[in-house]
């Protein structure tokens, strides 16, 4: 009860202080503060900042902001301080009006150092707590949360009383809690309340604050803080795991997109296409060309550039795939190792061709506005481009499943996968199915290229970075089964991201590779192996 009473007194006092701001009684100290700016010593400037902030003069914000940006000038001869505003006009800091006549000749900026920058942030935090814009108030509250400046307490109380925006109000209350915890004068009950408030906040900043309480904090408060730290750490661990899971899903969707085409060509034809990564690259370059054309001809369409690029990338990569099948792979059936070598050679040629045509440097592929930006869910940040890629991947996956399940082509494809000879004797033109399957696999790689152009560098080596990972997905998931590829991709993606924090990105990747090599020993045909005759074909 006593705490509440104290708070009400403080509030009344603060409002009084606020209302008094700008009136004669305080004007003197504001002028005194201004004079200190002209001393050209860091210590005096520090005092001047505090003085100006405490003065309550409405010009104080402007003066301190000017100081922050190096626009606060002083004249030693006149012992006066001026503000150069954004437009370049010189204002008298004492009354905020433009100066009459010519500028003083010995103007120089008030110098600041890092310690002063902290004072400035704290002072501005306190001052802008009452700004009309809620965004600025929120920032100010966070600044006070970090600075824990006891001088801001009265203003904080005033701001809390006035605040209507719930998010800002929470931030303000948390800021007050921080100040109370670090202030020497508050009593134990207040501090315990404050710990509870900060525990609610539950992020890294709260953790840092609670673990660095001043040594003279009473023991019960310390205990409460330790409890809060443990609880926050647990919470953060859960959020961290969720964040990793999200990154893993994102990586998994990229892997799935890159590997799924490979999985169908390998599943149906038993052909390892080492040039698969280059199909992805072709898709990415198609996106680049589409965007260049749009930029040149009709910039208004830029938002649709990816939608336009998708069918084109599918067509380009699919056509190249059919050409490869007709020109090379068709002659090498039954010789998988030779196919592997020939397609590797092809990948070298395609890379070099793109390098010759577009140059070896990375190409800039733009991101439409609906794909840029991010939003927060609890403590995790979700970027729109990753989200869209996951959605897109799932759409492609579902589309492919539907194609295999419900169309004539899908039926024939499955028949050829299961038993080529039998399918041929039932009248299915297996060579045509092979060509179309290869085109489909390559086309999907082209689609993957459109998606990857949003998150990776578009260069001739783009495909190389994904080919080994894609193979791992296919080998891990097993061939001839799209679900295997799905499970394989997401397992590898999530495992990779969970290993990274412990082992680092590179060691995590090595660990994954070693695990897969070991896994292959156990299940040589992958997670979802075909059984029966087809397995040995």
Partner 1 sequence: MISGLVFRALDRGAIAFLATLAAVAVLVPLLNLALPPTSPFYLSSYFVALFGKYLSYALLALAIDLIWGYCGILSLGHGAFFALGGYAMGMYLMRQIGTRGVYAHPSLPDFMVFLNWPELPVYWYGFQHFAYAAFMVVFVPGLLAFVFGWFAFRSRVTGVYLSIITQALTFALMLSFFRNNFGFGGNNGLTDFKDILGFNVQAPATRAALFVISALALMLGFVISRVVVSSKFGKVLVAIRDAEARTRFLGYRVEAYKLLVFTLSACMAGVAGALYVPQVGIINPSEFSPANSIEAVIWVAVGGRGTLTGAVLGAVLVNYGKTYFTSGVLAPYWLFVLGGLFVAVTLLLPRGIVGTIHHWSHEIRARRELNGGDASPMPQAAPRPAE
What are the counts of helices (DSSP H) followed by strands (DSSP E) for the chain? 20, 6
Q: How far is the CB of 530 from partner 1 (least distance, A)?
A: 14
Among 113, 204, 231, 352, binds partner 1 (CB under 8 A): 352
CB contact burial 278-298 (16+ within 10 A = b; e otherwise): bbbbbbbbbbbebbeebeeee
Is residue 344 within the footprint of partner 1 (CB under 8 A)? Answer: yes
Tokens of 434: 């092979």
Considering only 95-103, 189-197, 253-261, 521-529, which stretch makes contact with partner 1 by CB under 8 A? 521-529
Is residue 520 within the footprint of partner 1 (CB under 8 A)? Answer: yes
Calpha distance 453→252 (Å, rounded): 16
Segment holding 376, helix H or strand E: strand 374-377
Is residue 340 within the footprint of partner 1 (CB under 8 A)? Answer: yes
Considering only 67-75, 285-293, 327-335, 413-421, which stretch makes contact with partner 1 by CB under 8 A? 327-335
Considering only 56-64, 171-179, 219-227, 353-361, which stretch makes contact with partner 1 by CB under 8 A? 353-361
Q: How far is the CB of 298 from partner 1 (least distance, A)?
A: 35
Task: Sort residue 526 into left (φ over 0), alpha (ψ -120 to 50) or beta.
Answer: left
Is residue 529 within the footprint of partner 1 (CB under 8 A)? Answer: no
Q: How many CB atoms lie within 10 A of CB 97?
A: 8
Among 334, 357, 376, 532, binds partner 1 (CB under 8 A): 334
HSE, side-chain direction, 13 A CA sphere, residue 357: 13
Of 22-51, binders to partner 1 (CB under 8 A) are none
3-state SS track over 18-83 = HHHCCCHHHHHHHHHHHHHHCCCCHHHHHHHHHHHHHHCCCHHHHHHHHHHCCCEEEECCCCEEEE
Among 370, 510, 533, 535, binds partner 1 (CB under 8 A): 510
Is residue 100 within the footprint of partner 1 (CB under 8 A)? Answer: no
Contact 73, 108 (CB under 8 A): yes
Closer residue to partner 1 (CB): 12 or 468: 468
Contact 477, 527 (CB under 8 A): yes
Among 1, 296, 337, 357, binds partner 1 (CB under 8 A): 337
Of 180-199, binders to partner 1 (CB under 8 A) are none
Alpha helices by DSSP H, listed for 426-481, are 430-452, 464-477
Count the residues of the shown chain that bind partner 1, applying the rule CB under 8 A. 43
Considering only 69-77, 105-113, 369-377, 504-512, which stretch makes contact with partner 1 by CB under 8 A? 504-512
Closer residue to partner 1 (CB): 143 or 530: 530
Considering only 47-55, 69-77, 215-223, 340-348, which stretch makes contact with partner 1 by CB under 8 A? 340-348
Of 269-308, binders to partner 1 (CB under 8 A) are 272
Calpha distance 104→515 (Å, rounded): 74
Considering only 24-32, 101-109, 185-193, 328-336, which stretch makes contact with partner 1 by CB under 8 A? 328-336
Tokens of 67: 């100081």
Calpha distance 278→464 (Å, rounded): 7
Q: Is 533 exposed, middle or buried (0-12, 13-18, 19+ CB in 10 A)?
A: exposed
Calpha distance 497→192 (Å, rounded): 38
Crossing angle of the two packed helices 219-269 and 430-452, in degrees rounded to 10: 150
Of 208-267, binders to partner 1 (CB under 8 A) are none
Considering only 113-121, 144-152, 344-352, 446-454, which stretch makes contact with partner 1 by CB under 8 A? 344-352
Among 99, 398, 421, 507, binds partner 1 (CB under 8 A): 507
Is residue 513 within the footprint of partner 1 (CB under 8 A)? Answer: yes
Is residue 427 within the footprint of partner 1 (CB under 8 A)? Answer: no
Q: What are the two backbone dihedrals, phi and then psi, of residue 187, each rounded to the nearest 5 degrees?
A: -90, 175
Is residue 94 within the footprint of partner 1 (CB under 8 A)? Answer: no
Calpha distance 455→451 (Å, rounded): 7
Considering only 202-210, 212-220, 437-445, 464-472, which stretch makes contact with partner 1 by CB under 8 A? 464-472
Q: What are the two backbone dihedrals, phi and then psi, of residue 104, each rounded to the nearest 5 degrees?
A: -60, 150
Among 162, 226, 414, 509, binds partner 1 (CB under 8 A): 509
Applying CB under 8 A, the residues found at the interface with partner 1 are 272, 328, 331-332, 334-342, 344-349, 351-353, 355-356, 468, 471-472, 475, 506-507, 509-510, 513-514, 516-518, 520-522, 524-525, 536
């Amino acid at each position: 009860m006593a705490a509440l009473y104290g708070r009400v007194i403080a509030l009344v006092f603060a409002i009084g202080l606020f209302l008094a701001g700008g009136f004669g009684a305080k004007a003197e100290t504001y002028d005194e503060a201004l004079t200190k700016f002209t001393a050209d010593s860091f210590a005096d400037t520090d005092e001047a900042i505090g003085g100006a902030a405490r003065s309550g003069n409405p010009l104080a914000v402007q003066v301190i902001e000017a100081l922050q940006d190096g626009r606060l000038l002083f004249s030693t001869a006149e012992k006066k301080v001026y503000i150069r505003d954004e437009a370049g006009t010189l204002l008298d800091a004492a009354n905020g009006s433009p100066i009459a006549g010519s500028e003083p000749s010995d103007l120089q900026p008030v110098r600041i150092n890092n310690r002063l920058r902290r004072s400035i942030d704290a002072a501005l935090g306190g001052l802008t707590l009452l700004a009309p814009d809620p965004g600025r108030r929120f920032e100010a509250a966070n600044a006070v949360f970090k600075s824990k400046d006891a001088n801001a307490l009265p203003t904080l109380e005033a701001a809390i009383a006035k605040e209507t925006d719930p998010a800002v109000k929470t931030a303000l209350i948390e800021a007050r809690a921080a100040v109370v915890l670090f202030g020497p004068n508050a009593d134990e009950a207040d501090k315990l309340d404050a710990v509870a408030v900060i525990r609610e906040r539950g992020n890294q900043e709260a953790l840092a604050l609670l673990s660095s309480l001043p040594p003279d904090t009473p023991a019960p408060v310390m205990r409460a803080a330790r409890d809060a730290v443990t609880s926050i750490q647990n919470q953060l661990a859960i959020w961290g795991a969720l964040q990793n899971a999200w990154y893993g899903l994102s990586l998994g969707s990229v892997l799935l997109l890159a590997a799924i085409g490979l999985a169908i060509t390998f599943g149906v034809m038993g052909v390892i296409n080492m040039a698969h990564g280059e199909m992805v690259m072709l898709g990415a370059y198609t996106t680049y060309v589409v965007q260049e054309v749009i930029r040149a001809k009709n910039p208004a369409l830029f938002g649709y550039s990816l939608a336009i690029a998708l069918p084109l990338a599918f067509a380009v990569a699919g056509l190249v795939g059919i050409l490869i099948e007709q020109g090379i792979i068709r002659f090498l059936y039954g010789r998988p190792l030779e196919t592997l070598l020939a397609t590797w050679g092809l990948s070298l040629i395609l890379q070099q061709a793109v390098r010759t045509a577009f140059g070896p440097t990375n190409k800039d592929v733009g991101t439409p506005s609906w794909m840029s930006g991010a939003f927060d869910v609890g403590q995790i940040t979700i970027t729109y481009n990753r989200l869209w890629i996951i959605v897109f991947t799932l759409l492609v996956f579902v589309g492919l499943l539907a194609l295999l399940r419900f169309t004539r082509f899908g039926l024939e494809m499955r028949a050829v996968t299961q038993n080529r000879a039998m399918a041929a004797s039932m009248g299915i033109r297996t060579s045509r199915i092979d060509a179309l399957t290869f085109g489909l696999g390559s086309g999907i790689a082209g689609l993957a290229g459109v998606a990857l152009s949003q998150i990776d560098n578009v260069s001739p080596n783009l495909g190389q970075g994904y080919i080994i990972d894609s193979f791992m997905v296919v080998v891990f998931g097993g061939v001839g089964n799209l679900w295997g590829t799905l499970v394989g991709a997401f397992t590898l993606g999530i495992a990779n991201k969970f290993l990274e924090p412990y082992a680092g990105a590179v060691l995590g990747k090595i660990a994954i590779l070693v695990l897969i090599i070991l896994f292959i020993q156990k299940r040589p045909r992958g997670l979802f192996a075909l059984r029966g005759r087809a397995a040995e074909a």
